[in-house]
Structure 1
Protein backbone atom coordinates (compact mmCIF):
# COMPACT_ATOMS: atom_id res chain seq x y z
CA UNK A 1 0.00 0.00 0.00
CA UNK A 2 1.41 3.39 -0.99
CA UNK A 3 1.58 6.49 1.20
CA UNK A 4 0.01 9.14 -1.07
CA UNK A 5 0.11 11.73 1.73
CA UNK A 6 3.87 11.95 1.47
CA UNK A 7 4.25 12.45 -2.27
CA UNK A 8 2.45 14.26 -5.06
CA UNK A 9 3.07 12.91 -8.57
CA UNK A 10 2.33 14.84 -11.73
CA UNK A 11 -0.61 13.21 -13.52
CA UNK A 12 0.80 13.32 -17.04
CA UNK A 13 4.44 13.27 -18.14
CA UNK A 14 4.33 12.94 -21.89
CA UNK A 15 8.12 12.54 -22.24
CA UNK A 16 7.94 9.33 -20.22
CA UNK A 17 4.42 8.10 -20.92
CA UNK A 18 4.89 8.26 -24.68
CA UNK A 19 8.50 7.09 -24.65
CA UNK A 20 9.41 3.93 -26.50
CA UNK A 21 12.37 3.38 -24.20
CA UNK A 22 12.20 0.00 -22.49
CA UNK A 23 14.21 1.15 -19.48
CA UNK A 24 14.08 4.17 -17.19
CA UNK A 25 16.68 4.95 -14.53
CA UNK A 26 16.10 6.92 -11.35
CA UNK A 27 19.21 8.29 -9.63
CA UNK A 28 18.87 8.86 -5.87
CA UNK A 29 20.97 11.24 -3.77
CA UNK A 30 19.72 12.17 -0.29
CA UNK A 31 21.74 14.94 1.34
CA UNK A 32 22.84 14.94 4.98
CA UNK A 33 24.49 11.53 5.40
CA UNK A 34 26.92 9.39 3.40
CA UNK A 35 28.39 12.46 1.72
CA UNK A 36 32.02 12.96 2.72
CA UNK A 37 33.71 15.48 0.47
CA UNK A 38 30.26 16.63 -0.69
CA UNK A 39 30.81 14.09 -3.45
CA UNK A 40 27.28 12.75 -3.96
CA UNK A 41 25.62 16.16 -3.62
CA UNK A 42 28.07 17.66 -6.11
CA UNK A 43 27.41 14.78 -8.50
CA UNK A 44 23.66 15.37 -8.27
CA UNK A 45 24.09 19.09 -8.89
CA UNK A 46 26.24 18.33 -11.92
CA UNK A 47 23.45 16.20 -13.38
CA UNK A 48 21.09 19.15 -13.06
CA UNK A 49 23.65 21.61 -14.43
CA UNK A 50 24.31 19.62 -17.62
CA UNK A 51 20.71 18.56 -18.24
CA UNK A 52 20.33 21.22 -20.91
CA UNK A 53 16.86 22.42 -19.89
CA UNK A 54 15.94 26.06 -20.40
CA UNK A 55 15.40 26.61 -16.68
CA UNK A 56 18.59 24.73 -15.83
CA UNK A 57 16.81 22.53 -13.33
CA UNK A 58 14.66 19.95 -15.08
CA UNK A 59 10.93 19.46 -14.76
CA UNK A 60 9.67 18.39 -11.33
CA UNK A 61 7.46 15.33 -11.73
CA UNK A 62 7.05 14.38 -8.06
CA UNK A 63 7.23 16.37 -4.82
CA UNK A 64 7.55 14.91 -1.32
CA UNK A 65 5.85 16.54 1.68
CA UNK A 66 9.00 17.82 3.40
CA UNK A 67 6.99 19.19 6.34
CA UNK A 68 6.20 15.61 7.34
CA UNK A 69 9.75 14.36 6.85
CA UNK A 70 12.13 17.15 7.91
CA UNK A 71 13.36 18.07 11.42
CA UNK A 72 13.69 21.83 11.11
CA UNK A 73 15.35 22.24 14.51
CA UNK A 74 18.06 19.73 13.68
CA UNK A 75 18.73 21.15 10.20
CA UNK A 76 17.57 24.75 10.13
CA UNK A 77 17.06 26.15 6.60
CA UNK A 78 18.80 29.48 5.88
CA UNK A 79 17.00 32.80 5.56
CA UNK A 80 18.36 36.27 4.82
CA UNK A 81 18.05 39.19 7.24
CA UNK A 82 18.21 42.42 5.22
CA UNK A 83 18.57 45.62 7.31
CA UNK A 84 15.28 45.27 9.17
CA UNK A 85 13.39 42.31 7.74
CA UNK A 86 13.64 38.65 6.75
CA UNK A 87 13.47 37.48 3.13
CA UNK A 88 14.67 34.78 0.74
CA UNK A 89 13.75 31.78 2.87
CA UNK A 90 15.49 28.72 1.40
CA UNK A 91 12.89 26.04 2.00
CA UNK A 92 14.10 22.42 1.83
CA UNK A 93 12.80 20.53 -1.19
CA UNK A 94 12.75 16.80 -1.83
CA UNK A 95 11.71 16.27 -5.43
CA UNK A 96 12.01 14.02 -8.45
CA UNK A 97 13.14 15.78 -11.63
CA UNK A 98 12.94 14.61 -15.21
CA UNK A 99 16.34 15.10 -16.85
CA UNK A 100 17.93 14.07 -20.13
CA UNK A 101 21.43 12.74 -20.59
CA UNK A 102 23.96 13.81 -23.23
CA UNK A 103 22.24 11.66 -25.84
CA UNK A 104 18.72 12.86 -25.02
CA UNK A 105 17.71 9.79 -23.03
CA UNK A 106 15.26 10.68 -20.21
CA UNK A 107 15.95 9.66 -16.62
CA UNK A 108 14.82 10.74 -13.15
CA UNK A 109 16.74 12.33 -10.29
CA UNK A 110 15.43 12.06 -6.72
CA UNK A 111 17.34 14.62 -4.70
CA UNK A 112 16.96 16.64 -1.51
CA UNK A 113 17.47 16.34 2.24
CA UNK A 114 17.39 12.86 3.72
CA UNK A 115 14.14 12.43 5.65
CA UNK A 116 14.64 12.73 9.41
CA UNK A 117 11.63 10.54 10.17
CA UNK A 118 8.94 8.35 8.60
CA UNK A 119 11.49 6.35 6.62
CA UNK A 120 9.08 3.50 5.99
CA UNK A 121 6.47 5.93 4.70
CA UNK A 122 9.09 7.60 2.55
CA UNK A 123 10.11 4.24 1.07
CA UNK A 124 6.48 3.49 0.21
CA UNK A 125 6.16 6.90 -1.41
CA UNK A 126 9.27 6.27 -3.53
CA UNK A 127 7.77 2.93 -4.51
CA UNK A 128 4.76 4.82 -5.82
CA UNK A 129 7.04 6.98 -7.98
CA UNK A 130 8.92 3.91 -9.24
CA UNK A 131 5.72 2.11 -10.20
CA UNK A 132 3.97 5.18 -11.63
CA UNK A 133 6.81 5.84 -14.09
CA UNK A 134 7.78 2.18 -14.60
CA UNK A 135 11.32 2.80 -13.37
CA UNK A 136 13.45 -0.24 -14.19
CA UNK A 137 16.52 0.60 -12.10
CA UNK A 138 17.24 2.80 -9.09
CA UNK A 139 20.85 3.92 -8.67
CA UNK A 140 22.12 5.72 -5.56
CA UNK A 141 25.34 7.55 -4.71
CA UNK A 142 27.17 8.19 -1.43
CA UNK A 143 30.63 8.72 0.03
CA UNK A 144 32.38 7.94 3.32
CA UNK A 145 35.66 9.09 4.91
CA UNK A 146 38.40 6.45 4.89
CA UNK A 147 42.07 6.20 5.90
CA UNK A 148 43.26 6.41 2.30
CA UNK A 149 45.56 8.91 0.51
CA UNK A 150 44.29 11.20 -2.22
CA UNK A 151 47.25 10.15 -4.39
CA UNK A 152 45.76 6.70 -5.06
CA UNK A 153 42.71 5.77 -7.17
CA UNK A 154 39.37 6.42 -5.49
CA UNK A 155 37.91 3.10 -4.35
CA UNK A 156 34.21 2.37 -4.71
CA UNK A 157 32.00 0.06 -2.66
CA UNK A 158 29.36 -1.53 -4.89
CA UNK A 159 26.05 -2.67 -3.40
CA UNK A 160 22.73 -3.90 -4.79
CA UNK A 161 19.58 -5.73 -3.75
CA UNK A 162 20.38 -8.43 -6.32
CA UNK A 163 23.89 -9.77 -6.81
CA UNK A 164 23.39 -9.85 -10.58
CA UNK A 165 23.32 -6.04 -10.58
CA UNK A 166 26.79 -5.60 -9.06
CA UNK A 167 29.37 -4.03 -11.35
CA UNK A 168 32.38 -4.82 -9.18
CA UNK A 169 33.58 -7.00 -6.32
CA UNK A 170 33.19 -5.84 -2.75
CA UNK A 171 36.40 -5.06 -0.78
CA UNK A 172 34.66 -6.20 2.41
CA UNK A 173 34.36 -9.67 3.91
CA UNK A 174 31.81 -10.88 6.39
CA UNK A 175 29.20 -8.72 8.08
CA UNK A 176 29.67 -5.08 9.07
CA UNK A 177 27.14 -3.39 11.35
CA UNK A 178 26.94 0.25 10.30
CA UNK A 179 24.55 3.15 10.95
CA UNK A 180 21.76 3.00 8.40
CA UNK A 181 20.26 5.70 6.22
CA UNK A 182 16.98 6.29 4.44
CA UNK A 183 18.84 5.56 1.20
CA UNK A 184 20.01 2.16 2.47
CA UNK A 185 16.56 1.24 3.78
CA UNK A 186 15.06 2.24 0.44
CA UNK A 187 17.31 -0.22 -1.38
CA UNK A 188 16.24 -3.02 0.96
CA UNK A 189 12.53 -2.26 0.67
CA UNK A 190 12.62 -1.90 -3.11
CA UNK A 191 14.21 -5.34 -3.29
CA UNK A 192 11.42 -6.78 -1.16
CA UNK A 193 8.89 -5.22 -3.53
CA UNK A 194 10.59 -6.66 -6.62
CA UNK A 195 12.35 -3.51 -7.86
CA UNK A 196 16.04 -3.43 -8.77
CA UNK A 197 18.22 -1.00 -6.83
CA UNK A 198 21.96 -0.60 -6.59
CA UNK A 199 24.44 2.02 -5.54
CA UNK A 200 27.99 3.21 -5.15
CA UNK A 201 29.87 4.62 -2.17
CA UNK A 202 33.15 6.44 -2.81
CA UNK A 203 35.99 6.21 -0.28
CA UNK A 204 37.14 9.76 0.51
CA UNK A 205 40.48 10.57 2.19
CA UNK A 206 39.38 11.53 5.68
CA UNK A 207 41.47 14.69 5.66
CA UNK A 208 39.44 15.92 2.66
CA UNK A 209 36.05 14.88 4.02
CA UNK A 210 35.07 18.44 4.94
CA UNK A 211 36.12 19.93 1.61
CA UNK A 212 34.42 19.71 -1.78
CA UNK A 213 36.10 16.82 -3.58
CA UNK A 214 34.87 16.88 -7.20
CA UNK A 215 37.19 14.05 -8.23
CA UNK A 216 35.04 11.65 -6.22
CA UNK A 217 31.86 13.12 -7.73
CA UNK A 218 33.22 12.36 -11.20
CA UNK A 219 34.12 8.78 -10.23
CA UNK A 220 30.63 8.22 -8.82
CA UNK A 221 29.02 9.50 -12.00
CA UNK A 222 31.19 7.17 -14.08
CA UNK A 223 29.61 4.28 -12.19
CA UNK A 224 26.13 5.75 -12.57
CA UNK A 225 26.67 5.94 -16.34
CA UNK A 226 27.42 2.22 -16.43
CA UNK A 227 24.64 1.14 -14.09
CA UNK A 228 21.98 3.53 -15.34
CA UNK A 229 22.90 3.27 -19.02
CA UNK A 230 23.06 7.02 -19.42
CA UNK A 231 25.79 9.32 -20.68
CA UNK A 232 26.95 12.40 -18.78
CA UNK A 233 29.33 15.16 -19.86
CA UNK A 234 31.92 15.12 -17.07
CA UNK A 235 34.38 17.60 -18.58
CA UNK A 236 33.42 20.49 -16.30
CA UNK A 237 33.55 18.33 -13.21
CA UNK A 238 36.94 16.93 -14.17
CA UNK A 239 38.26 20.46 -14.66
CA UNK A 240 37.13 21.26 -11.08
CA UNK A 241 38.88 18.11 -9.91
CA UNK A 242 42.14 19.13 -11.58
CA UNK A 243 42.01 22.54 -9.91
CA UNK A 244 41.42 20.98 -6.49
CA UNK A 245 44.20 18.44 -7.05
CA UNK A 246 46.64 21.21 -7.95
CA UNK A 247 45.64 23.14 -4.84
CA UNK A 248 46.22 20.14 -2.58
CA UNK A 249 49.52 19.22 -4.27
CA UNK A 250 50.83 22.75 -3.92
CA UNK A 251 49.96 22.89 -0.26
CA UNK A 252 51.61 19.55 0.49
CA UNK A 253 54.78 20.60 -1.31
CA UNK A 254 55.02 23.65 0.93
CA UNK A 255 54.21 21.81 4.19
CA UNK A 256 56.56 18.92 4.82
CA UNK A 257 54.93 17.68 8.04
CA UNK A 258 51.54 17.24 6.39
CA UNK A 259 53.23 15.56 3.44
CA UNK A 260 54.80 13.05 5.82
CA UNK A 261 51.37 12.02 7.09
CA UNK A 262 50.10 11.54 3.54
CA UNK A 263 53.22 9.47 2.76
CA UNK A 264 52.41 7.22 5.74
CA UNK A 265 48.92 6.68 4.37
CA UNK A 266 50.40 5.84 0.98
CA UNK A 267 52.62 3.17 2.55
CA UNK A 268 49.62 1.77 4.40
CA UNK A 269 47.50 1.72 1.28
CA UNK A 270 50.21 0.07 -0.83
CA UNK A 271 50.84 -2.56 1.83
CA UNK A 272 47.18 -3.45 1.78
CA UNK A 273 47.19 -3.68 -2.02
CA UNK A 274 50.10 -6.09 -1.86
CA UNK A 275 48.62 -8.24 0.84
CA UNK A 276 47.59 -11.72 -0.25
CA UNK A 277 45.01 -12.16 2.44
CA UNK A 278 41.66 -10.36 2.53
CA UNK A 279 40.31 -8.62 5.61
CA UNK A 280 37.22 -6.65 6.55
CA UNK A 281 38.94 -3.26 6.52
CA UNK A 282 41.63 -1.32 4.68
CA UNK A 283 44.36 -1.86 7.29
CA UNK A 284 47.34 -4.11 6.61
CA UNK A 285 48.37 -5.78 9.84
CA UNK A 286 52.06 -4.93 9.79
CA UNK A 287 51.86 -1.29 8.69
CA UNK A 288 50.90 1.18 11.44
CA UNK A 289 48.86 4.24 10.58
CA UNK A 290 49.73 7.69 11.89
CA UNK A 291 48.29 8.19 15.37
CA UNK A 292 45.01 10.02 15.89
CA UNK A 293 46.86 12.94 17.44
CA UNK A 294 49.20 13.18 14.45
CA UNK A 295 46.34 13.09 11.97
CA UNK A 296 44.21 15.54 13.91
CA UNK A 297 47.01 18.07 14.39
CA UNK A 298 48.42 17.91 10.89
CA UNK A 299 45.10 18.02 9.07
CA UNK A 300 43.67 20.84 11.13
CA UNK A 301 46.62 22.75 9.71
CA UNK A 302 45.97 21.18 6.30
CA UNK A 303 42.38 22.43 6.17
CA UNK A 304 43.35 25.83 7.54
CA UNK A 305 46.06 26.10 4.90
CA UNK A 306 43.67 25.37 2.05
CA UNK A 307 41.19 27.93 3.34
CA UNK A 308 43.96 30.51 3.87
CA UNK A 309 46.70 29.67 1.33
CA UNK A 310 48.55 32.97 1.83
CA UNK A 311 49.33 32.09 5.43
CA UNK A 312 47.85 35.36 6.72
CA UNK A 313 45.79 35.29 9.88
CA UNK A 314 45.95 34.40 13.51
CA UNK A 315 48.31 31.57 14.46
CA UNK A 316 47.10 31.31 18.05
CA UNK A 317 46.33 27.82 19.22
CA UNK A 318 48.72 26.11 16.84
CA UNK A 319 51.37 23.94 18.38
Structure 2
Protein backbone atom coordinates (compact mmCIF):
# COMPACT_ATOMS: atom_id res chain seq x y z
CA UNK A 1 0.00 0.00 0.00
CA UNK A 2 1.43 3.36 -1.07
CA UNK A 3 1.65 6.16 1.49
CA UNK A 4 -0.65 9.04 0.35
CA UNK A 5 1.53 11.58 2.16
CA UNK A 6 4.27 10.83 -0.39
CA UNK A 7 2.18 12.74 -2.96
CA UNK A 8 2.87 16.14 -1.38
CA UNK A 9 5.38 18.08 0.63
CA UNK A 10 4.63 20.69 3.25
CA UNK A 11 5.95 24.23 2.83
CA UNK A 12 7.08 26.05 5.95
CA UNK A 13 5.22 25.92 9.23
CA UNK A 14 1.94 24.04 9.30
CA UNK A 15 -0.75 26.55 10.38
CA UNK A 16 -2.89 25.89 13.44
CA UNK A 17 -6.48 26.40 12.31
CA UNK A 18 -9.94 25.87 13.78
CA UNK A 19 -12.40 24.15 11.41
CA UNK A 20 -11.27 26.02 8.28
CA UNK A 21 -13.07 25.72 4.97
CA UNK A 22 -11.14 24.01 2.16
CA UNK A 23 -12.20 25.43 -1.22
CA UNK A 24 -10.94 23.37 -4.15
CA UNK A 25 -11.10 23.38 -7.94
CA UNK A 26 -9.07 21.55 -10.59
CA UNK A 27 -8.63 22.65 -14.20
CA UNK A 28 -9.49 20.02 -16.79
CA UNK A 29 -13.03 18.90 -15.93
CA UNK A 30 -16.26 20.49 -17.18
CA UNK A 31 -16.29 24.15 -16.12
CA UNK A 32 -18.75 26.06 -18.30
CA UNK A 33 -18.00 29.76 -18.49
CA UNK A 34 -14.84 29.16 -16.46
CA UNK A 35 -16.98 29.53 -13.33
CA UNK A 36 -14.70 27.67 -10.94
CA UNK A 37 -11.43 28.68 -12.56
CA UNK A 38 -12.30 32.39 -12.63
CA UNK A 39 -13.57 32.26 -9.05
CA UNK A 40 -10.37 30.72 -7.69
CA UNK A 41 -8.13 32.98 -9.79
CA UNK A 42 -10.01 36.04 -8.54
CA UNK A 43 -9.59 35.04 -4.90
CA UNK A 44 -5.86 34.42 -5.30
CA UNK A 45 -5.45 37.75 -7.11
CA UNK A 46 -7.36 39.72 -4.49
CA UNK A 47 -6.47 38.04 -1.18
CA UNK A 48 -3.21 37.42 0.62
CA UNK A 49 -2.08 33.81 0.61
CA UNK A 50 0.86 31.47 1.06
CA UNK A 51 1.57 27.90 -0.02
CA UNK A 52 1.03 25.28 2.67
CA UNK A 53 1.60 22.11 0.61
CA UNK A 54 2.66 21.28 -2.95
CA UNK A 55 1.64 18.08 -4.75
CA UNK A 56 4.01 16.01 -6.88
CA UNK A 57 2.74 16.79 -10.37
CA UNK A 58 5.36 14.50 -11.94
CA UNK A 59 3.43 11.58 -10.47
CA UNK A 60 -0.05 12.96 -11.05
CA UNK A 61 0.05 14.50 -14.54
CA UNK A 62 0.40 13.14 -18.06
CA UNK A 63 2.65 15.74 -19.70
CA UNK A 64 2.01 14.35 -23.18
CA UNK A 65 -1.69 15.17 -22.91
CA UNK A 66 -1.05 18.60 -21.36
CA UNK A 67 2.38 19.68 -22.51
CA UNK A 68 3.87 22.58 -20.51
CA UNK A 69 4.74 25.71 -22.45
CA UNK A 70 8.47 26.25 -22.99
CA UNK A 71 10.15 29.38 -24.35
CA UNK A 72 12.88 29.15 -26.99
CA UNK A 73 15.08 32.22 -27.58
CA UNK A 74 17.36 32.23 -30.63
CA UNK A 75 19.49 29.21 -29.80
CA UNK A 76 18.44 27.93 -26.39
CA UNK A 77 15.55 27.14 -24.06
CA UNK A 78 15.12 29.93 -21.53
CA UNK A 79 11.95 29.10 -19.57
CA UNK A 80 9.30 26.48 -18.83
CA UNK A 81 5.85 27.02 -17.32
CA UNK A 82 5.82 24.12 -14.91
CA UNK A 83 2.33 23.18 -13.67
CA UNK A 84 1.62 23.46 -9.95
CA UNK A 85 -0.98 21.85 -7.75
CA UNK A 86 -0.86 23.74 -4.45
CA UNK A 87 -2.73 24.03 -1.18
CA UNK A 88 -2.72 27.65 0.01
CA UNK A 89 -3.67 29.41 3.22
CA UNK A 90 -5.85 32.43 2.41
CA UNK A 91 -7.68 35.02 4.51
CA UNK A 92 -11.04 36.47 3.47
CA UNK A 93 -11.95 40.15 3.75
CA UNK A 94 -12.84 39.70 7.43
CA UNK A 95 -9.52 38.05 8.20
CA UNK A 96 -11.00 34.55 8.49
CA UNK A 97 -8.47 31.91 7.37
CA UNK A 98 -9.45 29.28 4.81
CA UNK A 99 -7.63 26.94 2.45
CA UNK A 100 -7.57 26.80 -1.36
CA UNK A 101 -6.47 23.73 -3.31
CA UNK A 102 -6.11 24.39 -7.03
CA UNK A 103 -4.20 23.45 -10.15
CA UNK A 104 -4.56 20.92 -12.97
CA UNK A 105 -6.77 17.91 -12.36
CA UNK A 106 -4.59 14.80 -11.82
CA UNK A 107 -4.47 12.36 -14.72
CA UNK A 108 -3.63 9.34 -12.56
CA UNK A 109 -3.67 7.96 -9.01
CA UNK A 110 -7.04 9.52 -8.18
CA UNK A 111 -7.70 7.24 -5.23
CA UNK A 112 -4.29 7.95 -3.71
CA UNK A 113 -4.76 11.66 -4.42
CA UNK A 114 -8.13 11.68 -2.63
CA UNK A 115 -6.51 9.89 0.29
CA UNK A 116 -3.67 12.44 0.31
CA UNK A 117 -6.19 15.29 0.44
CA UNK A 118 -7.84 13.42 3.30
CA UNK A 119 -4.60 13.37 5.30
CA UNK A 120 -4.27 17.14 4.88
CA UNK A 121 -7.91 17.64 5.84
CA UNK A 122 -7.31 15.71 9.06
CA UNK A 123 -3.97 17.34 9.81
CA UNK A 124 -5.30 20.87 9.32
CA UNK A 125 -8.62 20.24 11.05
CA UNK A 126 -10.73 21.16 8.01
CA UNK A 127 -14.38 21.58 8.95
CA UNK A 128 -15.90 21.72 5.48
CA UNK A 129 -14.75 20.97 1.93
CA UNK A 130 -16.33 22.99 -0.87
CA UNK A 131 -15.92 22.81 -4.65
CA UNK A 132 -17.57 24.72 -7.49
CA UNK A 133 -17.69 24.66 -11.28
CA UNK A 134 -19.97 25.54 -14.19
CA UNK A 135 -22.25 23.25 -16.19
CA UNK A 136 -23.89 24.15 -19.54
CA UNK A 137 -27.68 24.45 -19.42
CA UNK A 138 -30.38 25.60 -21.84
CA UNK A 139 -30.92 28.86 -19.97
CA UNK A 140 -30.67 32.51 -21.08
CA UNK A 141 -28.06 34.87 -19.66
CA UNK A 142 -30.83 37.42 -19.11
CA UNK A 143 -32.19 35.44 -16.15
CA UNK A 144 -30.54 34.73 -12.77
CA UNK A 145 -28.05 31.89 -12.99
CA UNK A 146 -29.22 28.76 -11.19
CA UNK A 147 -27.08 26.61 -8.93
CA UNK A 148 -27.29 22.88 -8.24
CA UNK A 149 -25.97 22.02 -4.81
CA UNK A 150 -24.69 18.58 -3.82
CA UNK A 151 -23.25 17.38 -0.53
CA UNK A 152 -22.18 14.42 1.55
CA UNK A 153 -25.10 15.18 3.90
CA UNK A 154 -28.45 16.58 2.64
CA UNK A 155 -28.70 19.03 5.52
CA UNK A 156 -25.63 20.87 4.22
CA UNK A 157 -27.70 22.20 1.30
CA UNK A 158 -31.18 22.46 2.78
CA UNK A 159 -33.55 24.71 0.89
CA UNK A 160 -31.97 24.04 -2.51
CA UNK A 161 -33.70 22.25 -5.37
CA UNK A 162 -32.06 20.21 -8.11
CA UNK A 163 -32.77 20.21 -11.85
CA UNK A 164 -31.58 16.61 -12.04
CA UNK A 165 -32.80 13.19 -11.07
CA UNK A 166 -30.58 10.13 -10.97
CA UNK A 167 -27.97 10.34 -13.75
CA UNK A 168 -24.61 8.78 -14.59
CA UNK A 169 -21.88 11.19 -15.70
CA UNK A 170 -18.10 11.04 -16.25
CA UNK A 171 -16.29 11.31 -12.94
CA UNK A 172 -13.81 13.93 -11.79
CA UNK A 173 -11.12 14.13 -9.13
CA UNK A 174 -13.15 16.80 -7.34
CA UNK A 175 -16.24 14.58 -7.24
CA UNK A 176 -14.21 11.64 -6.00
CA UNK A 177 -12.83 13.72 -3.13
CA UNK A 178 -16.35 14.68 -2.10
CA UNK A 179 -17.51 11.05 -2.36
CA UNK A 180 -14.58 9.41 -0.55
CA UNK A 181 -14.09 11.98 2.19
CA UNK A 182 -17.82 12.32 2.68
CA UNK A 183 -17.98 8.57 3.27
CA UNK A 184 -15.32 9.00 5.97
CA UNK A 185 -17.51 11.49 7.83
CA UNK A 186 -16.16 14.79 6.52
CA UNK A 187 -18.59 17.51 5.47
CA UNK A 188 -18.15 18.01 1.73
CA UNK A 189 -20.32 19.97 -0.67
CA UNK A 190 -20.27 21.58 -4.07
CA UNK A 191 -22.05 24.08 -6.26
CA UNK A 192 -22.61 23.61 -9.99
CA UNK A 193 -23.51 26.95 -11.62
CA UNK A 194 -25.96 26.77 -14.54
CA UNK A 195 -24.22 28.59 -17.39
CA UNK A 196 -25.99 29.39 -20.70
CA UNK A 197 -24.91 26.66 -23.10
CA UNK A 198 -24.01 29.19 -25.79
CA UNK A 199 -21.48 30.78 -23.41
CA UNK A 200 -20.02 27.55 -22.05
CA UNK A 201 -16.71 27.88 -23.94
CA UNK A 202 -16.26 31.58 -23.18
CA UNK A 203 -15.10 33.24 -19.98
CA UNK A 204 -18.29 34.32 -18.24
CA UNK A 205 -17.50 36.30 -15.05
CA UNK A 206 -21.14 36.31 -13.94
CA UNK A 207 -20.85 32.55 -13.39
CA UNK A 208 -17.85 33.08 -11.09
CA UNK A 209 -19.77 35.71 -9.13
CA UNK A 210 -22.66 33.28 -8.67
CA UNK A 211 -20.24 30.54 -7.62
CA UNK A 212 -18.58 32.68 -4.94
CA UNK A 213 -21.93 33.97 -3.68
CA UNK A 214 -23.02 30.35 -3.24
CA UNK A 215 -19.81 29.58 -1.34
CA UNK A 216 -20.42 32.57 0.92
CA UNK A 217 -23.96 31.41 1.64
CA UNK A 218 -22.72 27.92 2.48
CA UNK A 219 -19.65 28.85 4.52
CA UNK A 220 -19.93 32.42 5.81
CA UNK A 221 -16.67 33.43 4.12
CA UNK A 222 -16.69 36.98 2.74
CA UNK A 223 -15.00 37.70 -0.58
CA UNK A 224 -14.15 40.93 -2.46
CA UNK A 225 -16.41 40.74 -5.51
CA UNK A 226 -16.55 44.31 -6.85
CA UNK A 227 -13.95 43.74 -9.57
CA UNK A 228 -15.54 40.48 -10.65
CA UNK A 229 -18.98 42.06 -10.74
CA UNK A 230 -17.64 44.92 -12.90
CA UNK A 231 -16.19 42.37 -15.33
CA UNK A 232 -19.54 40.55 -15.39
CA UNK A 233 -21.46 43.74 -16.16
CA UNK A 234 -19.05 44.62 -18.96
CA UNK A 235 -19.32 41.14 -20.49
CA UNK A 236 -23.13 41.21 -20.30
CA UNK A 237 -23.15 44.61 -22.03
CA UNK A 238 -20.98 43.23 -24.85
CA UNK A 239 -23.26 40.21 -25.21
CA UNK A 240 -26.30 42.51 -25.39
CA UNK A 241 -24.54 44.44 -28.16
CA UNK A 242 -24.08 41.23 -30.13
CA UNK A 243 -27.69 40.16 -29.65
CA UNK A 244 -29.07 43.52 -30.77
CA UNK A 245 -27.07 43.22 -33.99
CA UNK A 246 -28.49 39.79 -34.86
CA UNK A 247 -32.16 38.98 -35.40
CA UNK A 248 -31.36 35.26 -35.22
CA UNK A 249 -29.70 35.60 -31.83
CA UNK A 250 -32.48 37.85 -30.53
CA UNK A 251 -35.09 35.26 -31.52
CA UNK A 252 -33.11 32.42 -30.00
CA UNK A 253 -32.61 34.21 -26.68
CA UNK A 254 -36.31 35.14 -26.56
CA UNK A 255 -37.16 31.47 -27.01
CA UNK A 256 -34.86 30.51 -24.15
CA UNK A 257 -36.42 33.18 -21.96
CA UNK A 258 -39.91 31.79 -22.62
CA UNK A 259 -38.66 28.28 -21.88
CA UNK A 260 -36.97 29.39 -18.65
CA UNK A 261 -40.00 31.38 -17.47
CA UNK A 262 -42.27 28.40 -18.14
CA UNK A 263 -39.95 26.21 -16.07
CA UNK A 264 -39.86 28.76 -13.25
CA UNK A 265 -43.66 28.83 -13.29
CA UNK A 266 -43.78 25.07 -12.66
CA UNK A 267 -43.09 23.22 -15.92
CA UNK A 268 -41.14 19.98 -15.97
CA UNK A 269 -37.45 20.05 -15.05
CA UNK A 270 -36.32 18.49 -18.35
CA UNK A 271 -37.12 21.72 -20.19
CA UNK A 272 -33.89 23.34 -18.99
CA UNK A 273 -31.78 20.45 -20.23
CA UNK A 274 -33.31 19.95 -23.68
CA UNK A 275 -33.06 22.19 -26.70
CA UNK A 276 -35.97 22.97 -29.00
CA UNK A 277 -35.52 21.69 -32.54
CA UNK A 278 -36.86 25.00 -33.85
CA UNK A 279 -34.07 26.97 -32.20
CA UNK A 280 -30.37 27.16 -33.11
CA UNK A 281 -28.41 24.53 -31.27
CA UNK A 282 -26.06 25.38 -28.43
CA UNK A 283 -23.12 24.86 -30.77
CA UNK A 284 -24.56 27.26 -33.35
CA UNK A 285 -25.23 29.94 -30.74
CA UNK A 286 -21.80 29.40 -29.22
CA UNK A 287 -20.10 29.72 -32.61
CA UNK A 288 -21.72 33.11 -33.19
CA UNK A 289 -20.79 34.36 -29.73
CA UNK A 290 -17.24 33.01 -30.02
CA UNK A 291 -16.80 34.83 -33.32
CA UNK A 292 -18.03 38.03 -31.69
CA UNK A 293 -15.78 37.62 -28.65
CA UNK A 294 -12.76 36.85 -30.85
CA UNK A 295 -13.44 39.99 -32.89
CA UNK A 296 -13.79 41.98 -29.67
CA UNK A 297 -10.45 40.68 -28.34
CA UNK A 298 -8.81 41.53 -31.67
CA UNK A 299 -10.14 45.08 -31.46
CA UNK A 300 -8.79 45.39 -27.93
CA UNK A 301 -5.41 44.17 -29.10
CA UNK A 302 -5.31 46.79 -31.86
TM norm structure 2: 0.92
Partner of 1:245 in structure 2? Answer: 236
Partner of 1:179 in structure 2? Answer: 170
Q: 1:279 to 1:101 in 2, by over 3 A?
A: same
Cα distance per residue 1:223-253 (max 9 Å; x no partner): 1112222110100100000110111001111
Q: 1:281 to 1:166 in 2, by over 3 A?
A: farther
CA apart distance, 1:174: 3.2
Q: How does 1:1-319 map to 2 (within 5 A)?
A: 3-10=4-11, 12-13=13-14, 16-17=15-16, 22-51=18-47, 53=48, 58-276=49-267, 278-279=268-269, 282=272, 289-290=276-277, 294-309=281-296
Q: For the residues of structure 2 that align with 1:173 and 1:201, how far apart are their CA atoms? A: 12
- Which shifted more, 154-163 or 2-11? 2-11
Cα distance per residue 1:1-57 (max 9 Å; x no partner): 8511111124623xx32x5xx421110011111211111101001111111x3xxxx
Q: For the residues of structure 2 that align with 1:234 and 1:66, how far apart are their CA atoms? A: 31
CA apart distance, 1:167: 4.6
* RMSD of aligned alpha carbons: 2.2
Q: For the residues of structure 1 that align with 2:257 and 2:141, how far apart are their CA atoms? A: 9
Does the Cα contact within 8 Å between 1:305 and 1:311 map onto a contact in 2? no
- Which shifted more, 81-90 or 30-39? 81-90
Cα distance per residue 1:248-305 (max 9 Å; x no partner): 00111111112211111112111222235x4456258xxx614576543443222212
Q: For the residues of structure 2 that align with 1:207 and 1:46, how far apart are their CA atoms? A: 23
Q: For the residues of structure 1 that align with 2:213 and 2:297, how far apart are their CA atoms? A: 35
CA apart distance, 1:169: 2.0
CA apart distance, 1:124: 0.5
Q: For the residues of structure 1 that align with 2:159 and 2:72, how far apart are their CA atoms? A: 49
Structure 1's consecutive aligned runs of 4 or more residues displaced over 3 angstroms after TM superposition are 278-281, 290-299, 309-312
In structure 2, runs of 5+ residues without a counterpart are none
Normalized per residue, the structure richer in helix is 2
Q: 1:283 to 1:179 in 2, by over 3 A?
A: closer
CA apart distance, 1:202: 0.5
